[in-house]
Amino acid sequence: MRLWSWLVILALAGCAQTPPKDDSLYHELGQRAGIQRIVEGMLLNIAHDKRIVEHFKKIDIVRLRDKLVEKVCVEAGGPCRYTGDSMAESHKGQHLTRSDFTALVEDLIDSMDAEHIPVPTQNRLIARLAPMRGDVIEK
């Protein structure tokens, strides 16, 4: 049911990339420490996910973790600054599919479940991340 919710959010999400001014989501996610736990949990889930783990074999996981924490922190309205490449640039040439993207979102949801993040909060985060989908898949 939650995957369906994210698909609806994804379909309805606008393309604006302006970080939100409201920091309530940042606080609901547990601030930077909570976001780091969510990202680390997602990366552990990916490590066991046969659907997409191959895409991560040659990646500096520590750097990826740090950049994902920054990105999620910014998108959640936190006081962070994202210092990584654009989503389009960092995924260029990877030829990721919709299925790959869906698998990653499922791994993120599983991580948020493990951190006891309420579903409405999960949906708010996914809605803020959803506009990046076009910069990630099939590039």
Q: Which helix (H) or strand (E) holds 27?
A: helix 24-28
- Residue 62, H or E segment: helix 61-75
Q: pLDDT tens digit string along 84-126?
A: 888 888 888 788 888 999 999 999 999 999 999 999 999 999 9
35, 40, 44, 50 alpha-carbon torsion, rounded to 10°: 60
Q: What are phi and psi of 94, to 5 degrees?
A: -85, -20
Q: How far apart are the C-alpha atoms of 115 and 53, rounded to whole Å?
A: 22
Q: What is the mean pLDDT of the chain?
A: 86
For residue 1, the Cα-to-chain-centroid distance in whole angstroms is 19
- pTM of the shown model: 0.83
CATH 1.10.490.10 assigned to 21-136: yes
- Where is pLDDT greater, at 12 or 58? 58
**Domain spans, the chain:** 21-136
Question: What is the structure's pLDDT at 135?
Answer: 83
> Could you read off the pLDDT of 21-45 as tens digits, one per residue?
688 999 999 999 999 999 999 999 9
Closest CA to 81 of 92, 96, 69, 64: 69
